[in-house]
Structure 1
Amino acid sequence: MAGNLILVIIFLSLVAYFVGQSQARKFVEASPVGAVHSRPVYHGAFVAVWVGVPALLLVLVWLLFQGAVVDALLLRSLPPSLTDGAGPAELSLYLAETKNVAAGLVFGEPSPEIVAAAERYAAWSQIASWAMVVVGLSVAIVAIFVARARLAPLFRARQGFERALSVMMVSCAVLAIFTTLGIIGALLFEATLFFRMVPIVEFLFGLRWEPQIAIRPDQIAGAGAFGAIPVFVGTLLVATIAMAVAVPVGLFSAIYLTEFASDRIRAIVKPMMEILAGIPTVVYGFFAVIVVAPAIRGLGMSLGIPVAPNTALVAGGVMGIMIIPFISSMTDDALNAVPRSMRDGSLAMGATQGETIMKVLLPAALPGIAGGILLAVSRAIGETMIVVMAAGLIATLTFNPLDSVTTVTVQIVTLLIGDTAFDSPKTLAAFALGLVLFVATLVLNIVALRIVQKYREKYD
């Protein structure tokens, strides 16, 4: 119902746009030349903004609080025989069971109290949804008449629309900032709980990673070890192999397309390279497992070199192929941004084309190239699907690219799959790994910005 309501509000905004534009055209026809302050398009945009934005905000806020309000009412309506002495976990279980029964997902025979609560929950949810529809449409319809009534020949519709647009852009920026702060806060909070159970020194410098511990009394598992050095080493090994493939190929391909290739070849090769950036990572994973891994294993067997079924070399090599377009595209843009006068001046002084590239173009384009490489490193560190399919899940402390390794992102996915309990070190370790990954990518981005700021040259 919420989706349909949002579509209706968008339709009413379009109607409001044409209503405001039609009213402004009447002002233009009835007034002398220059007597109307703003163009009709701004009058229509002004009415559309004041119809759509408040109604959409109301619907979003309503959806944000509707579930919490209905849940609170539902808990208060439960009989004391269920709620007296019940902890948060039991109350959450009652809520989940009630919602399942209301949705028709009945497993076993629910108690009469739960059945009655499910009926109340369905009725209250229906009432809340229809109330949202009525209030949202009422706000939108009233806004059409109010905004239209403000229109006049001398009304500053353009300033009003631009002011509303500025508020929306600032609000989006603030929302992005608070979202980032929320992510950081969640990681810090959960990681702090983990470090209360596992010393941070053991986590950062331990040499054994075996997080499979018992999370239920009847479960049989090991004691657990949370030394993350093998995970960090595996991540760096895979990322290093990926960059060893991506950096030379990306740089040389960008130099060729910029300095040597004809316009016809560039028009063919560059879009084909850009296609690599749009291929889903799961397709790269299939390619690694089906094509690259058997080829590497067969080559190793022919040379008498033992090769694991899943290796860091396969994952890093395929990941490097995936990252090539990022480096190539940013290097291409950086080289094209170098003024033509620098190329011509170098060639006029008698330098060869190779000397011009090495001693003039690459130093001038260094900020863009370095920034692109560091951003590609961040992408390599954060990649998950290729490593899951091609490198393995076992944390092995090794620098041999022919061995099976794992990475931070793979372990985060593994730890949060299955029967999870957010009060055990096994699950909380995922947040600690996520915090380390966040800090690592943040440092890389800061280094990239510093390089750009330090070595950037401004040309007349």
Structure 2
Amino acid sequence: MPVIWIVTFLLVLSIAGYVAGRARAFQSASGDVRQMHSLPGYYGYNVALTSLVPALLVLAVWLLVQPMLIESRVAGMLPAEVIPEGSNQSLVMSDVRRVAEGLDIAIERGVMTEESASSIRTEFTDVRGRLGEVGVALGSDVRPEVLRAAQAYRSMSSKGSLAMTIVVGLLAIGGLALAFSRTNKDFRARNVVERGVMALLILAACIAILTTIGIVLSMLFETMNFFRLHSWTDFFFGSTWAPNFRGDSDLSILPLLWGTLYISFIALLVAVPIGLFAAIYLSEYASNAVRSVAKPLLEILAGIPTIVYGLFALLTVGPALMKVFGQGGMAGVGWMSGATSVLTAGLVMGIMLIPFVSSLSDDIINSVPQAMRDGSLGLGATQSETVRQVVMPAALPGIVGAILLAASRAIGETMIVVMGAGAVAKFSVNPLESMTTITTRIVSQLTGDTDFASPETLVAFALGLTLFVLTLGLNILALYIVRKYREQYE
């Protein structure tokens, strides 16, 4: 049964359980709500949640675990000679999945029956041709080992889906029956429902943490594979980034890290002063009429897609800088050889970050108690002195957080860098030269028809993990500084 039908069945069953549980509670109290321990709705929610939540959790876990178990078993059926030289098992498994999908489509369209799909034998080109009839394209002829693995994959998937449907259905019906049988006017339904909702809230909070752990572990394992193939000393202490996908590549993170920090620094030089001054004006000096117009217009910048900013950098800002600093430009210095440069990407990225700094800083400044302003003004301070010596120190921890958010956004930006900064990995202090960043190289290394068996591809995971660790360290340091300042201020 398709998953959508299983979910629909669970929802219908939970709605029926809500109605039945509520009615049973009324019946046990002879229709008198005052005799019930809880409100009638809680009895219905208890039956509905007991029926729905465990079944949905089992369904989600089953959908995650079943493909991994099936692929692990099917991969063990593939002999070593099936894997082409220079390739890996994952590419062969992708052929297995395509063949299995093709057999399913062929059965649905009547090209073959379930029995023929399970027992079909091939001279290779025959199966490829028959799958081509239903639009499944294969890069090469189907080997008999791959066909047998695909048939086993289909069989295991079908049995697993049937078992999932039965288990989930029985669990939902059993939960409904159990909760319904316990429903009476003295049952503490409100306590049970509130504990259940609390458990769901805790689970939702844990999902974010577990997702982060999963992301880190996935990068960590691939990074370990990378360092088995490439020297870690060259990665962390080398000076050249030159992947060639033919071996003997120089894969040092330092040129990429320099470009990332340089572009982010220029972006923050643009975004922090403008955004912070805009926030101070809007919160402390602007009238309500001006604020109601200026703040939404400023926040429009946050909704512009980054690809649009990239086009703006490539077509407008870059050529404008060329007219000033390029060969024959107004400055007459010839420092800029192309429209792509660190300064181009930094300026446009800074414009993109202005609403991040201004909106968050504005909200933080407005959260400073008005009593502090009134006390300062009452002691004879001017408005500017109140802003400098009272409001800004009180709001500084939050403003630091806003700046860190903007910095994280700058470090993770890709499209503006691709179109505005170029793709050259090197050390240079000239902001008018082309450079690149870590995120751009991650995209580049994983783009194209590549497999995860070469250091030139696996280096993307090492870059991502290193960037994650550096960002985490900066955030921890900033949090420590903010807490120390807050202690002194309080």
TM-score bracket, normalised by the shorter chain, equals 0.7 to 0.9
Q: CA deviation at 1:54?
A: 1.0
Match of 1:220 in 2: none
Pair 337,92 (structure 1): closer, same or farther in 2 beyond 3 Å:
closer
Q: CA deviation at 1:311?
A: 1.3
Match of 1:375 in 2: 405
Aligned residue runs from structure 1 range 278-293, under 5 A: 278-293=303-318
- Letter aligned with residue 101 of structure 1: V
Matches of 1:274 and 1:42, distance apart in 2: 43
Pair 74,443 (structure 1): closer, same or farther in 2 beyond 3 Å:
closer
Q: Deviations over 1:310-355 (max 9, x none)?
A: 1111211121122112211221122112111111121122221111
Match of 1:44 in 2: 44
Check the 8 A contact 2:255/2:427 in 1, yes or no: yes
- Letter aligned with residue 395 of structure 1: A
Match of 1:362 in 2: 392
Q: 1:145 aligned to 168, 177, 194, which one?
A: 177
Pair 243,128 (structure 1): closer, same or farther in 2 beyond 3 Å:
same
Matches of 1:17 and 1:447, distance apart in 2: 50
Check the 8 A contact 1:254/1:331 in 2, yes or no: yes
Pair 255,19 (structure 1): closer, same or farther in 2 beyond 3 Å:
farther
Q: CA deviation at 1:240?
A: 0.7
Q: 2:79 aligned to 76, 80, 83, which one?
A: 83
- Letter aligned with residue 131 of structure 1: A
Specify the SS of the correspondent of 1:420.
coil
Match of 2:65 in 1: 65
Whether 1:425 aligns to 2:455 is yes
Check the 8 A contact 1:327/1:376 in 2, yes or no: yes
Match of 1:439 in 2: 469
Q: CA deviation at 1:454?
A: 1.9
Check the 8 A contact 1:98/1:117 in 2, yes or no: yes
Specify the SS of the correspondent of 1:103.
helix
Aligned residue runs from structure 1 range 105-124, under 5 A: 105-107=136-138, 108-112=140-144, 114-124=146-156
Identity of matched residues, %: 46
Whether 1:31 aligns to 2:36 is no
Aligned residue runs from structure 1 range 15-414, under 5 A: 15-26=16-27, 30-31=31-32, 33=34, 35-71=35-71, 74=74, 83=79, 92-104=90-102, 105-107=136-138, 108-112=140-144, 114-214=146-246, 223-301=248-326, 302-303=329-330, 304=332, 305-307=334-336, 308-414=338-444
Matches of 1:386 and 1:157, distance apart in 2: 55
Q: Deviations over 1:36-71 (max 9, x none)?
A: 111123222222221221111111122123223433
What's the RMSD between the two structures over aligned residues? 2.8
Pair 184,102 (structure 1): closer, same or farther in 2 beyond 3 Å:
closer
Pair 172,280 (structure 1): closer, same or farther in 2 beyond 3 Å:
same
- Letter aligned with residue 39 of structure 1: L
Pair 19,416 (structure 1): closer, same or farther in 2 beyond 3 Å:
same
Matches of 1:402 and 1:109, distance apart in 2: 53
Normalised TM-score (structure 2): 0.83
Q: CA deviation at 1:26?
A: 4.6
Matches of 1:163 and 1:230, distance apart in 2: 53
Pair 28,441 (structure 1): closer, same or farther in 2 beyond 3 Å:
farther
Pair 36,198 (structure 1): closer, same or farther in 2 beyond 3 Å:
same
- Letter aligned with residue 79 of structure 2: T
Matches of 2:437 and 2:229, distance apart in 1: 22
Specify the SS of the correspondent of 1:321.
helix
Where does the alignment leave 5 or more consecutive residues of structure 1 unmatched? 216-222
Check the 8 A contact 2:26/2:185 in 1, yes or no: no
Q: CA deviation at 1:75?
A: 5.4
Check the 8 A contact 1:375/1:445 in 2, yes or no: no
Q: Deviations over 1:386-420 (max 9, x none)?
A: 21222122212112221111011111111122243
Normalised TM-score (structure 1): 0.88
Check the 8 A contact 1:204/1:227 in 2, yes or no: yes
Q: Deviations over 1:212-249 (max 9, x none)?
A: 2316xxxxxxx321232221111111101110111011
Matches of 1:96 and 1:51, distance apart in 2: 37
Check the 8 A contact 1:375/1:444 in 2, yes or no: no
Q: Deviations over 1:80-119 (max 9, x none)?
A: xx63776797655553323222223243432455445534
Pair 385,23 (structure 1): closer, same or farther in 2 beyond 3 Å:
farther
Pair 168,343 (structure 1): closer, same or farther in 2 beyond 3 Å:
same
**241-250 vs 186-195, which moves further:** 186-195
Match of 1:219 in 2: none
Matches of 1:339 and 1:239, distance apart in 2: 33
Pair 29,335 (structure 1): closer, same or farther in 2 beyond 3 Å:
farther
Pair 251,18 (structure 1): closer, same or farther in 2 beyond 3 Å:
farther
Pair 66,198 (structure 1): closer, same or farther in 2 beyond 3 Å:
closer
